[in-house]
Amino acid sequence: MMGLRHLSVRRRILLVGAVPAILAVLILTAYHMQNRWSDLRRENESIAKIVLEQISASAEYPLISGNYDLLKPLVHAALDQPAIVEVEITDTAGQSVVKERSRLYEGHQDVSVIDQPIVRLVPQLDEFSEFADTRLVERNLGSIRLTLSDAYTREREQQILQQSLLTGLAVVILAALVSRAASLSILTPLEKLAAFIAGLAAGATRTRLTVDDGAEIGHLQVNANRLAESLEKAERDQQTYTEQLMLEQQRTQHASRAKSEFLAMMSHELRTPLNGAIGMLQLLDPANSAEEFDDYKRTADRSLTHLTQLLEDVLVVVDTEKNKLPVTFSEQKLPEVLDTLLQTFSARALEKSLSFVTEYDDALRNQNLRCDPSLVRQVVRHLVDNAIKFTDDGMVSLKLSMQASADGSVLSIRVTDTGIGIAAGHKEKVLEAFSQANSSFSRRHEGVGLGLTISHHICRMLGGDLALQDAPGRGTDVMASIPAQLVMVQTDPDDCLGSGYAALIVEDNPVNLKVTEKMLSKAGCCLTVESVMSGEDCLERLRIRSYDLILMDCQMPGLDGFETTRRLREMGVGTPVVACTANTTDNIRERCLASGMNDYLAKPLTLALVRDALSRWLPEEQKSPH
């Protein structure tokens, strides 16, 4: 090995090319020769086997009949094979009936003998045997003896050896010549390539190699240049990716921190109204005075209303990431929809000595608006709540009007205040989910702080938009637009809803059942209300009588509301079915309609929702009591 290190590169390349070629030729020649010998032996064995099978198959009749001359053509054909020296056929007594020997190998002593019996399968019968039960047994008719000579095999092996050696020698000489020529053609390009790669290893990624060769060497030169380009690009990309990774890491940490703060904040905000409602309900007592009772009840109602609003906000925030929002359209006058809410805001503004001004255009006062009233109310609530919360003196104004747009008409909700305003750097941030300008517990103003985020998401999901800008002087001017349509005012039916009608409530929760029964009784004048607590009972009840309206809970053990409604429709029951469930996610409205329901009410129920459902789904012509 030490001697090889002192040889020139040219001689090394020659050795690298020639020695493996010579070794490969020798190994392949030996392997080829061995395979040829093995094939020759297998060929002789196959011929002997075929001869034995043919003679054995054809010797049954001559041996049984005694006409042994019929065997001689088979024996002569077998002796035509060079490796077969002698063929002898004997009978059952072991006496030779035919024996022939080849003249080509007279006197050869190096032989091998193969014996094979000649047998025949015959039925074994006796006087008690039946044909169906006959078994076959072997009967010996004689034997065949083949004498094989190895002389032919050795002659063939010597011929194969000579041919293989001559061929191998020619290939070795040719390989040596080709290796020498190849070494002389690749030496210089390889030296240049080696120097170039050494430069790349040293960091010289901006240098390039001149491509002055073809075939594989030229490809190596081209690929070496590509490698240099890739290394150079990788250095630039690595720096860019590192910067992006650091930025994404910061964003991920910020998002995780914002979500954690949001969850902690929601825990605090939910517990506050919950504590107020539970506390006021526990203070209710028959011994309370009328004023105390009204005060406790009013406080509990406000706390539960606040809790319901917080839950609605949480659902909207969840839908923000799903990029969807359940929408329920109805036709109502907007002042009636917002009346109670705006009265609450007027009281809050009065407590802070603020002026609160509400302005409707004439169209909204005189005509019904087709929209989702709960979502419109939610947008107004958040925008006005933010304005009052962040305004310490001055005024807050709410202006609602209908505006024309390229796709029809939109409801314009504009809230202007004289409060602290929003910094320019935070205007985009406050519209992102889980992001607030200040979300810590030490912030000055209470609340979840997601009003603008929720309002922006609602407007966007409804096909509208929300824009922030500074109000003249100081404060904030928020403009929300929601696609909506004005419709003609329909003449209200008799104020006494449900007179002469019957409704069935399907609800498994006793508390919810009681609430729904009381609300239906209060909302419907003389409305007959019955109830069942499972889907199975509902099907049984509808088989014996009919109803004008069914309020169906969706989540029940056994048959849920969806499957119960599907079976009702299969039974041919066409009674309007209104879903009444606390589930407001996962496309619940679409699932209700797909199962055959006609409408959807979200819990918690209110008298206004129940009255609206009765006015929509009870027949216009009254029926006689059921």
Q: Convert the pLDDT of each residue in 546-595 to its tens digit.
A: 999 999 998 888 899 999 999 999 999 999 999 988 776 657 778 888 99
CATH number, domain at 66?
3.30.450
Q: Are 283 and 363 in the same domain? A: no
Phi, psi of 556 (to 5 degrees): -140, 150
Task: Let me know if residue 190 belongs to a domain.
Answer: no
**pLDDT tens per residue across span 246-281:** 888 888 887 677 677 666 666 766 777 788 788 888
Instruction: Give the model's pLDDT for residue 493.
Output: 46
- pLDDT score, position 560: 92
| Residue 241 domain-assigned (yes or no) | yes
Q: Is residue 285 part of a domain?
A: yes
Question: For 360, how many CA atoms within 13 A lie in the half-sphere containing its CB?
Answer: 16
pLDDT at residue 399, as a whole number: 94
Do 465 and 425 share a domain, yes or no? yes
| pLDDT the model gives residue 287 | 80
- Clarify whether residues 576 and 461 are in a common domain: no
| Neighbouring C-alpha atoms within 13 Å toward the C-beta of 25 | 18
Rounded Cα–Cα distance for residues 417 and 398 (Å): 9
Q: Could you give the number of structural domains in the chain?
A: 4
What does the pLDDT look like over 101-121, one tens digit per residue? 877 666 555 667 777 787 776
Domain ends where: 307, 324, 341?
324
Question: What would the pLDDT profile of 315-327 be if each residue is shown by its tens digit?
Answer: 666 565 556 666 7
CA distance 505 to 551: 5
Q: Which of 51-60, 550-559, 610-619 has the lowest mean pLDDT?
A: 51-60
pLDDT at 542: 92
More confident residue, 329 or 108: 329
Closest CA to 42 of 411, 34, 130: 34
pLDDT band at 62 (very low <50, low <70, confident <90, very high): confident
| H/E run at residue 416 | strand 408-417
Chain segment 155-185, per-residue pLDDT in tens: 777 777 787 778 877 877 777 777 767 666 6
Nearest to residue 536, comparing CAs of 557, 521, 551? Answer: 557
Express as a percent the part of the chain with pLDDT over 70.
78
Position 199 scores a pLDDT of 80
Domain stop point among 157, 174, 198: 157
Residues 49 and 22 in one domain: yes
Predicted local confidence at residue 551, as pLDDT: 93
Query: pLDDT at position 76, please?
Result: 79
Are the beta carbons of 87 and 78 closer than 8 angstroms? yes
pLDDT of residue 597: 93
Closest CA to 355 of 346, 366, 364, 363: 346
Residue 605 in domain: yes
Span 597-608, mean pLDDT?
83
Q: What is the DSSP letter of 591?
A: H
Q: Does one domain contain both 32 and 112?
A: yes
Say which residue, 512 or 220, is predicted with more confidence.
512
Same domain, 578 and 471: no
If you average pLDDT over every residue of the chain, what do you get? 78
pLDDT for 540 beyond 90: yes
3-state secondary structure 378-405: HHHHHHHHHHHHCCCCCEEEEEEEEEEE
Are 62 and 140 in the same domain? Answer: yes
Residue 451: inside a domain: yes
Residues 320 and 335 in one domain: no
479 and 340 within one domain? yes
Q: The domain that contains 306 carries what CATH number?
A: 1.10.287.130
Decide if pLDDT at 126 tops 60.
Answer: no
Banded model confidence at residue 214, pLDDT cuts 50, 70, 90: low
Tell me what pLDDT residue 562 has. 93
pLDDT tens sequence across 414-458: 999 988 877 665 666 656 555 554 444 334 445 445 678 888 888
Average pLDDT over residues 62-76: 78
Q: What is the pLDDT of residues 464-489, one digit of tens each?
A: 888 888 766 578 889 999 998 888 75
My answer on whether 347 and 476 are in the same domain is yes
- Is 19 part of any domain? yes
**Residue 584 sits in a domain of what CATH number?**
3.40.50.2300
Domain that holds residue 479: 331-487
Question: Is pLDDT of 238 > 80?
Answer: yes
Give all strands of the β-sheet with 84-90 in edge-to-edge order. Answer: 96-101, 84-90, 135-149, 111-124
Non-local (6+) Cβ contacts of 318 within 8 A are 585
Contacts of 467 (CB under 8 A, 6+ apart): 478, 479
Q: Does one domain contain both 430 and 571?
A: no
CATH code for the domain in which residue 353 is found: 3.30.565.10
Residue 92 lies in a domain: yes
Residue 6 included in any domain: no
Are 18 and 145 part of one and the same domain?
yes
| Structure confidence at residue 623 (pLDDT) | 43
Residue 320 is predicted with a pLDDT of 58
pLDDT single digits (tens) 380-390: 988 998 889 88
For residues 309 and 88, what is the distance between their CA atoms, to the nearest angstrom?
A: 111
Q: What are the residues facing 135 on neighbouring strands?
A: 124
End residue of a domain, out of 324, 343, 373: 324
Q: What is the pLDDT of residue 539?
A: 93
Contact between residue 329 and residue 463 where contact means Cβ atoms under 8 Å apart: no
pLDDT for residue 443: 47
